[in-house]
């Protein structure tokens, strides 16, 4: 069986057909708009807020534990003061009296220090709690926003997912018919332009991509299909209407 010879015209046709398919995929992505990116950004932001909320809660719990320890110290000091006061009734000399009095003074100082620490910790807890409350409010708002964005995106995906998957399969199959060097050029050109057009027709003697005028000689060369011609201004591959055929409207 004789292997079919792939001509320049065949390659141009394959490139054009691939462009039509990829442009339809691009149109679906435009329909989705920035929603996928917005959803991803919101998910990242929410994850960051969850970490911050967790750290703030741990900090508040640590302050509560600190306050609890100081309160325990106060109770312990009060118990000691009560015991020392009872012992004062039974002192036998000035030395014992002075020792007990000094212990009572020390425990009172311990109480004052713990009370100071409690006030400072309580003030710090209040500040942390305010930040925690505002962060939690922001988190709740972001969750609601994410739910709305996801619902909106899911509706679009539900409408377009089947079509997009089908087009992706067609694009993959179409790419198999094109030489690797041409595919690399095609992908490179597509990446340079927001509209993703790497292959365009000439319209009214102008490039269908950048709309610059195409010289008459180049127009003649396009119709001969003897070589792949690129626009001298934008670098896009040019095809004539014989190649584009009825599919030209797909890129409009």
Q: How confident is the model at residue 252 (pLDDT cuts 50, 70, 90)?
A: very low
Q: How far, in Å, CA of 171 to CA of 6, rounded?
A: 19
CA 52-53-56 angle, to 5 degrees, is 85
Tokens representing residue 188 in the block: 């490179």
The answer to whether 220 and 227 have CB atoms below 8 angstroms apart is no
Q: How far, in Å, CA of 137 to CA of 133, rounded?
A: 6
3-state helix, strand, coil in the chain (%, to 5): 75, 5, 20
Question: What share of the chain has pLDDT > 90, as a percent?
Answer: 74
Mean pLDDT within 34-59: 94
Which pLDDT tens digit goes with each residue over 22-45? Answer: 999 999 888 888 888 899 999 999
* Ramachandran area for residue 204 (φ above 0: left; ψ -120 to 50: alpha; else beta): left
Predicted pLDDT of residue 159: 82
Predicted pLDDT of residue 3: 56
Which pLDDT tens digit goes with each residue over 140-179? Answer: 999 999 999 999 888 888 888 889 999 999 999 999 999 9
Predicted pLDDT of residue 23: 95
Predicted pLDDT of residue 250: 46
Cα-Cα end-to-end distance for the chain: 41
Nearest to 218 by CA among 74, 77, 182, 228: 228
DSSP 181-231: HHHHHHHHHHHHSTT---EEEEETTEETTT-PBPPHHHHHHHHHTSS-EE-
Tokens representing residue 63 in the block: 């302050």
For the chain, the average pLDDT equals 91
Which pLDDT tens digit goes with each residue over 132-142? Answer: 999 999 999 99
Tokens representing residue 21 in the block: 């398919």
Predicted pLDDT of residue 54: 97
Which pLDDT tens digit goes with each residue over 206-240? Answer: 999 999 999 999 988 988 999 999 999 999 999 99
């Amino acid at each position: 069986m004789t292997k079919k010879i792939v001509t320049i015209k065949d390659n141009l046709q394959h490139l054009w057909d691939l462009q039509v398919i990829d442009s339809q995929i691009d149109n679906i992505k435009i329909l989705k708009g920035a929603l996928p990116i917005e959803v991803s950004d919101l998910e990242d932001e929410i994850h960051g807020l969850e970490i911050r909320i967790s750290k703030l809660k741990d900090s508040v719990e640590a302050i509560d534990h600190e306050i609890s320890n100081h309160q325990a110290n106060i109770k312990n000091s009060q118990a000691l003061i009560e015991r020392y006061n009872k012992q004062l009734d039974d002192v036998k000399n000035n030395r014992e009296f002075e020792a007990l009095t000094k212990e009572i003074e020390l425990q009172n100082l311990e109480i004052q220090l713990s009370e100071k620490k409690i006030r400072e910790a309580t003030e710090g807890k209040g500040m942390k709690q305010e930040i925690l409350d505002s962060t939690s409010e922001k988190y709740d708002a972001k969750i609601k926003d994410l739910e709305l964005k996801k619902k909106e995106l899911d509706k679009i995906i539900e409408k377009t997912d089947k079509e997009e998957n089908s087009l992706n399969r067609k694009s993959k199959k179409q790419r198999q018919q094109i030489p690797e060097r041409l595919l690399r050029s095609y992908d490179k050109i597509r990446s340079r332009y927001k509209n993703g057009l790497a292959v365009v027709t000439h319209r009214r003697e102008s490039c269908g991509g950048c709309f610059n005028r195409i010289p008459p000689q180049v127009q003649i060369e396009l119709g001969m299909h003897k070589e792949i011609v690129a626009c001298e201004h934008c670098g896009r591959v040019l095809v004539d209407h014989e190649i584009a055929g009825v599919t030209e409207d797909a890129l409009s």
